[in-house]
Amino acid sequence: MADLFDPADLEIGPELMVPNVTSESAYVPDTNGDPEGSEERARIVAIQLPDFFYRRYRLTDDGSPTFNQSTVDGIMDVFDVKVGTEQSFGDDDDDTKAGYFDSQIEKVRDGVSQLLEIDPQTTGINFLQLTTRTWAEFVSVAYEYQDSYSTINKDDGLPTWLVEREDKMLQLGRKARMLSAVCEQMDDKFGLKSTELERFRVLNEVERRLQRLAEWNFKQHADQSGKIANDMNTASVEHCSSIFDNA
């Protein structure tokens, strides 16, 4: 019986013991379960941008800044609500009353009428373009204002930058409605088929504005050190390959 082997007689060392807690080193990526996601998570981000950039803008596949379509859609929803509405007035002072607003419209109309003696069509087109751009600016700022106040802490007061944006929104709304009123009153003076505010033209101006802002914010906030390093490494490899081929 002395030749019989009993595993219980063996001394189990620590390397054979099963620990109660699994160490981090024991985990490996599940490349079989999610190969595309695993590859994406493992990739080093070439361009770093702050989170706020992605609220309204995005990067194309080649890393160029552009706007989010959802932002454009939100702005145009504001346009659909605001276009055709009347200017609202307060009672604090004369420049917020309807009579003063009407007198401003008359002054703008009289000033534009002086430009119609030579080539009224060009004057009309330029004025209609100004009206279109102003509406695009107004509804864009209104959307930004609405989007911003919905995210601030309700227990805090309005920040200064939001108060300034509010004032700009109100002034642009006043200007947009003033220009639309002048267009309506001078419809037959410009010699154009129509001076109607076209939604698709406002949409084009909204997209141009967002594209400019996307590019400006990208230049101001993008950290491209990773992209530059990758480009330099690629260039170095191509250089070495070229030298080898010509050796």
Residue ranges of domains in the chain = 53-223
Furthest-apart CA pair in the chain: how many Å? Answer: 125
pLDDT range class, residue 24, cuts 50, 70, 90: low
What is the rounded distance in angstroms from the CA atom of residue 80 to the CA atom of residue 121?
A: 28
Residue predicted with more confidence, 181 or 4: 181
Q: Is pLDDT of 208 > 80? A: yes
Distances from the Cα of 13 to the Cαs of 16, 130, 162, in angstroms?
6, 84, 67
String of b and e for 187-223 (b: at least 16 CB within 10 Å)?
eeebebeebebeeebbbebbbebbeebbeebbeeebe
Q: Is pLDDT of 107 > 70? A: yes
The stretch 175-189 carries a mean pLDDT of: 95
What is the rounded distance in angstroms from the CA atom of residue 236 to the CA atom of residue 218?
A: 27
How confident is the model at residue 35, as a pLDDT?
58
CB 31 within 8 A of CB 38: yes
Which pair of structure tokens corresponds to residue 217?
Answer: 């914010």
Residue predicted with more confidence, 90 or 224: 90
- Helices 98-113, 160-185: inter-axial angle, 10-degree rounding: 60
Task: Report the first-to-last Cα separation within the chain, whole angstroms.
Answer: 77
